[in-house]
Amino acid sequence: MGKYFGTDGFRGEANVTLNVTQAFKVGRFLGDYYGKDHKARIVIGKDTRRSSYMFEDALSAGLTASGADTYLLHVTTTPSVSYVVRSENFDCGIMISASHNPFYDNGIKIINGEGHKLEADVERKIEEYLDSAEDTLPFALRENIGMTVDYSMGRHRYIAFLISLAKRSFKNMRVGLDCSNGSASQVAKSVFDALGAKTFVIHNEPNGININKNCGSTHMEDLQKYVIENGLDVGFAYDGDADRCLAVDEKGNIIDGDKILFLCGTYLKNRGELENNTVVTTIMSNMGLYKAFDEKGISYEKTAVGDKYVYENMMKNGHILGGEQSGHIIFSKYAATGDGILTSLMIMEVMLEKKEPVSHLLKEIIIYPQLLQNVRVKDKKAAREDAAVIAAAKRVEEELGDSGRLLLRESGTEPVIRVMVEAENDELCKKYVNIVVDALKEQGHEKQ
């Protein structure tokens, strides 16, 4: 990770750790970088948080000042930006979003010409430019100044693409959608309605400050209740920029990313379509997923946390399915990034083909109890390398042995240390998480 760019772009509190001057300079750099030998074409999407409009203007100003033509998708999803970039030959794309973070945060995600996240070496060059005392990049002049184009048609083409992927009608299916008051509000219902579903939607009235607030893939309670009360067949919850999806079965049980990988992985294997007989996961995936894969004869690989690393592994090794427990699921046959709405369509395909409720389809996977606690810290590196914290972690690992595991890692997008324990029961999870969290606090690392 760099000074500004983490695992998912440049993210921080709007006008505090990420401001409009920095956004303008990011635009200036990209317009110049991609416009060395031709007039650059760059597409921008944004989510619904209030500051996204401000950053859209700043980025557009920087891009056009460097000579790039800028195409605005307006409120849309991160995967739609990826789709438009790779299908319509843009030089790169920018998504303005802080994903699942609260409304006061925002971020700049840069997507390269192939539709996936920008290369680390280019991110480093952007960081060097951001920290430079002088602006050495030339401004475009006269007819070389870039123009800004309304490109909402790009979002409509993405919607049509999603609809085209469905193999069966969704007629008579009762589907709930939690749009998180975010980007999915502009896309998801249109797709399900077009496919014939009886669509029930909640949290699809964004006002700039309610994105992710007690809703979406990080707060599933409303959707669970809604599915049960309305007798729905399934429910899907997205995050702020809709690159994640978690689901709820007909009984109100949460289906996380691990269960989605099991559902889709076994389905593809049975159809002879799981390339290399392998699913790519991250180190956060549950032990129960691996045991279920072992029983099904499915191989798996583990990467660092971040769909960026999952995708890199998939591309390097030719795998077609991978993802994270948090709901970033990548179907590389159709997309170059996690796509929440695409994921929900794939789950619908399995349900319709198998003619069974989701709860029945998942009865063969048993997830171990898992507890994750985030500790906001003053300095992630100092906290992670503290001798007392390391000693506490070692003690937990020794006591768990082969019956569980501890994962202690830095967040790639927030000033947070994540402490996760998997064990045989909830009480043990809580006990061992507390040992490490208490060590962090006792050493004075917690940020008040």
Tell me the binding residues for Mg(2+). 99, 239, 241, 243
Strand ranges for 195-327 from DSSP E: 198-202, 234-238, 245-248, 254-255, 278-282, 299-303, 321-323
Report the distance separating Cα 374 and Cα 411, nearest Å: 9
Token pair in block for residue 62: 């920087």
Total count of residues recorded for the chain? 448
C-alpha to C-alpha distance for 111 and 129, rounded to whole angstroms: 19
Which residues lie below 8 Å from residue 205, measured CB to CB, with a gap of 6+?
181, 185
Phi and psi at 234, nearest 5°, equal -170, 155
Residues belonging to the binding site are: 99, 239, 241, 243
Q: Is 99 within 8 Å of 48 (Cβ atoms)?
A: no
Q: Is the separation of the CB atoms in 212 and 100 below 8 Å?
A: yes
141 contact partners, CB below 8 Å, separation of at least 6: none
Annotated active-site residue in 51, 66, 80, 99 = 99
> Does 66 qualify as catalytic in the annotation?
no
Q: CA nearest 267: which of 202, 338, 331, 336?
A: 331
User: From CA 448, how far away is CA 444, in angstroms rounded?
Assistant: 10
Residues marked active site are found at 99
